[in-house]
Amino acid sequence: MLDGIFWLAQNTLYISVATAMLILAIVLDLILGDPSPNYPNKWTFKLHPTVLMGNFTKKIEPYFKNHDPKIEKFLGVLLGLTVIAAFAMPTFLGLWAIYTFLPLYLNILIYAILGIILLKMTICIKLETDWAKATAKAINQNDEAETKKYAHFSRRDSKNLNTTQMGSAVIESMSENLIDFKLSPMMSFALFGVTGAIAFRAINTLDGMVGFKTKEHINTGWFSANLDNFINFIPTRLTALLMIVAAAILRMDAKNAWRIARRDHKKTPSRNHGWPMAAVAGALRIQLEKPGQYILGDPQEPLTGDKVMAALKIRDITIVLWGLICVIVLVLVRMWFLPI
């Protein structure tokens, strides 16, 4: 009986600490945000894990090239595993050492503090929020030059885009980033701890660096691209459903969100990200367009800055709903597996 009580108390402690880590990592991001890519020479930007992962991938990729496509594809697997291991293993071993060798309770405190900092670096909410608000204001003022200052937001060439198209790019990016920089890292932490969140950030960064069907990356990047697609397959679809629920909570057009998500999700090059992008287009009753590539939704209402702000509200409610799911998963996982 005493063993059972000790087991319950220990698990309750670990679950409480893990839940607090997830919440505090999000709070820390909302307070501090992320370094802006508009200032790439700042040390805070250069030392951000995502930047380090990207630079590391770029530096070692040439060593995984081969004139034989089959061999190069195999080397692409090794490239992906190398980058993931280079960041996930030190994270795991460092936190394991803290948990194992420091005195009881001090180990949990130090583990939690470092874990919160590392987890925060896999999540990006504040920077995106600030840019979205600034873009929305510029769109409402029809200030095309000001709108284009936030082109980094969508990683899209803004040279020939008008304010409406920039607004579309921002909303599309918010929908895509909702998975990559918020929900998937949160779920990775819930399932596999801090190491899982870091591993996901490495996988997602690999996809952003080499996961393209270009001559340069089609072989070395195929593994990274498909791994990212596989990991995000369920989260993207669940996210679309939660966005529809969020639209209903906010009294937006949830029915239209479901209709457009089902109709248009296949129109984007990504197998996954078309779901949340189409869902938000339907909820907002607007048309999203990447010129020359795809059109999502119907132009039932004009795409104004207010629509960008409405997309932010959908995003925020979706994060809260996802967070509740993560806590449930976290509890179930940590009732069986230790440590945190």
pLDDT tens digits for range 139-185: 999 888 888 777 666 667 777 788 888 899 999 999 999 999 999 99
Inform me whether the pLDDT recorded for 234 exceeds 80.
yes
* Selection from 265, 285, 281 nearest residue 273 by Cα: 265
Cα 85 from chain centroid?
Answer: 19
The answer to whether 300 and 285 have CB atoms below 8 angstroms apart is yes
* Strand bridging mode 294-296 / 288-290: antiparallel
User: In this structure, what is the dihedral angle of CA atoms 172, 175, 180, 181, given to the nearest 10 degrees?
Assistant: 100
Alpha carbon distance 228, 208 (integer Å): 10
340: confidence class by pLDDT, cuts 50, 70, 90: very low
**Residue range 305-312: mean pLDDT, rounded:** 97
For residue range 92-115, what is the model confidence (pLDDT) as tens digits? 999 999 999 999 889 999 999 999
For 194, the 3-state DSSP assignment is: helix
More confident residue, 47 or 2: 47
What pLDDT does residue 339 have? 47
CA 98 to mean position of chain CA atoms: 28
Given a contact cutoff of 8 angstroms between Cβ atoms, the answer to whether 311 and 280 are in contact is yes
Closest CA to 207 of 273, 297, 277: 273
126 CB burial (10 A radius; 0-12, 13-18, 19+):
middle
pTM for this prediction: 0.94
Residues 236-248, mean pLDDT to the nearest whole number: 98
* The token pair that represents 229 in the structure block: 């697609």
Q: Name residue, tokens 């698990």.
A: 11
Q: For residue 11, give the H/E element and its range.
A: helix 2-32
Split at pLDDT 50, 70, 90, the class of 216 is very high
Q: What angle do CA 219, 224, 227 make, to 5 degrees?
A: 125
Mean pLDDT check: name the lowest of 27-41, 59-73, 148-162, 249-263.
Answer: 148-162
Domain positions in the chain = 2-334
In terms of pLDDT, which residue wins out, 335 or 134? 134
CB half-sphere exposure, 234, CA atoms < 13 A: 4
End-to-end CA distance of the chain: 24
Q: Are 161 and 148 in contact (CB under 8 A)?
A: yes
Mean pLDDT over residues 187-209, rounded? Answer: 97
What is the DSSP annotation of 251-311? TS-HHHHHHHHHHHGGGSSSTTTHHHHHHHHHHHT--EEETTTEEES--SS---HHHHHHH
